Structure 1
Amino acid sequence: MIDSATYTESGTIIAVIDGKQVSVPDDPANRHRRMISEWEAGGGVIEPYQPPAPTAADVNSERDRRIAAGTTLTVAGYGSIPITGTLRDQIALEALRSRAVKLADDGVTEPVMLLRDRDNVTHNLTPAQMVELVDAGMAWIEATMRVSWAMKDATAPFEAGIPADYADDQYWP
């Protein structure tokens, strides 16, 4: 007697046969699979695989992955600079920003600040450009965090909760 049958992600079938859960390969030579085929012929339906709903932990992992991978920022009068956002990078960038503010306060306007980007390219920025870069990077991290919060809190535009395709680029800055 078969009570239910459901495909798994790998294509095997989890079936309840004679009150016991059995993992059945989707192979016509398998005796349990033949039983399931007879059950299907009598109107039984193997339920399709349904991936588990994403969790807050899944969203946190995606958010952290995106921040660590970084983004490309545009600095006025300079151009694009790809950065990463690991905690170590954030600390280093904040230290550079602090130094840039001091240099700017001292009247320095020349490109005297070195930054090595995500692609190992060295950039020579003015103090004002360094402040702009770090501020833009922090704004990007904050925007990324806000997306994760909205998903987990089911607030606009995620009133329906965490979307199944939560890792899709369309949702993230």
Structure 2
Amino acid sequence: MVKEIASNFRKGQVIEHEDGHLYVVLKAETFRPGKGTPTTTIDMRRITDGVKTVITVKTTDTLEKAFVEEVPHTYLYKDGDEYIFINIETYDQISLTEAMIGDGIGFLQENAECKILMFDGKAITITLPTRVTMAILSTEPVVKGQTASSSYKPAIVESGARVMVPPHIEAGTRIVINTDDSSYVERAKD
């Protein structure tokens, strides 16, 4: 384990917390007030059972960063409650649960290249591609008088995930989505 100051933690990194469990960082924000001590707020998910927690510490406090190995895999298919991946170098298959994949599960596509984080030879979580391209299945009709600059409408993509899109986007349109925050990036260029 390596000690690192709290302000250096980013999304996707793994922390070994004081309670002895491993947590994956979901979001880390540093707050620097004009007066007083700067703090870092870290939203994290316990890897063993998916429980989310938030801690706030001084930016200079140290936390244990777990040594994890990123192994490239390709998503194959869903089998019951498990998601099957294949190592693109050794062709070994591995299965992950929904709790291990986390909130990005709605953006998992067949044949998508991902990185599985391994700790002591065991899979603990997954890192999805930053952007995915998906087709819109359904969306609400445009309301007359809405402006394109300030309003978004809900849409359901092919995986069942919900995203907010500009009013000019219709069902059947392929869009690029940022998997970090489920936000619309642009219309796909394919």
- Where relative contact order (Cα < 8 A, 6+ residues apart) is larger, the structure is 1
Q: Same fold (TM over 0.5)?
A: no
Q: TM class by shorter-chain length? A: under 0.3
More helix by share: 1
More strand by share: 2
